[in-house]
Amino acid sequence: MFKIVEKFKIFAPISLVIILIGAIMFGVYGGFAQDVDFAGGMTMYVEMGKDVNLDELSKHIVENTPDGVNPTVQKSDGTQVVIKTTPIGTEDRDKLQAAILEKYELGEEAILQVDNVDASVGNELKTQALTATLIAAVLMLIYITIRFEMRTGIAAVICLLHDVLIMLAVYVIFRIPINSNFIAAILTIVGYSINNTIVVFDRIRENYAKNKRAPFAETVNMSIKQTLTRSINTTITTLLPVIMLFIFGVTSIRQFTIPLMVGLLAGTYSSLLLAGPIWVGMKNIQANRKKKKLAKR
């Protein structure tokens, strides 16, 4: 027998363990790894004119920058590279540019662009990310409440919170820098997850309307079974292009696709294995309250 609701006590702890590991690592590392977009600093785009050894370039940059600026080098488009550091003075930045141009025999036009991001801009981006996620969650709660009922809205938001926390755990565990792509990844997963959840909830509502005498848990199990193939196929077709981006994309794209892949899997997991059982649990709580009230009369 297909019993998802009855196995909720197995599925839920798996997610809790991952989230707990993320929380522990958050404390160990002292927070997320932040890219220049959030932490502030300098971003330099350089056209190298040929493929270069990134490790060798990184070593050269470290030798020509002050201690503590934590430079990173990523491949961008073609033979371009992106060099990022924490805030650096104009004199040190000019020294770094000169060192790169001299070692690799490049002209000044090789320095395509230099951006300096203030830490306050990073704080603003963090606020915007949090605000966007909260607004999305509230609007989805309102929409699902109108379409279904308050319990389903709460269950859906709990699943959204689950997906976001799983994704944040991945960012912490694998030290993926948080940047502007982080906002896009969060909102993408929120939208994908809620779509999957609504499909499941819609089937539950249809089946419940046909046979209200059947135990609600049984209806939920049957509905999840009916939507299982559809959800898995949707996830696979969505994952395939993301995997291709991970394989063939540059470093910045790969950093974006890793949490996206995890988020897609987490969204499918919560929609199929957590959302329905949570709805059943909330219905049972309400039923028990009614029984207690009747017993008191």
Residues 83, 22 within the same domain = no
Give the end-to-end CA distance of the chain in Å, rounded to a whole number: 39
Which residue, 117, 133, 153, sits at the end of a domain?
117
* Residue 243, token pair as written in the block: 């995997």
Residues 109, 255 within the same domain = no
Range of the domain at 92: 41-117
Residues 274, 143 within the same domain = yes
Residue 165 confidence (pLDDT): 92
Cα 228 from Cα 98, distance rounded (Å): 59
Cα 266 from Cα 160, distance rounded (Å): 9
Residues 150, 264 within the same domain = yes
Residues 290, 240 within the same domain = yes
Residues 169, 194 within the same domain = yes
Residues 100, 196 within the same domain = no
Residues 284, 206 within the same domain = yes
Q: What is the dihedral sign for C-alpha 25, 28, 32, 36?
A: negative
Return the closest-CA partner of residue 4 out of 278, 192, 229. 278
* Residue 193, token pair as written in the block: 């997850």
Residue 206 confidence (pLDDT): 92
Residues 23, 51 within the same domain = no
Q: What is the CATH number of the domain that holds 168?
A: 1.20.1640.10
Residues 176, 210 within the same domain = yes
Which residues of the chain carry a pLDDT beneath 70? 1, 37, 119-122, 297
Residue 276 confidence (pLDDT): 92
Q: What is the CATH number of the domain that holds 96?
A: 3.30.70.3400
pTM reported for the whole predicted model: 0.81
Residues 101, 11 within the same domain = no
Residue 18 confidence (pLDDT): 94
Residue 297 confidence (pLDDT): 66
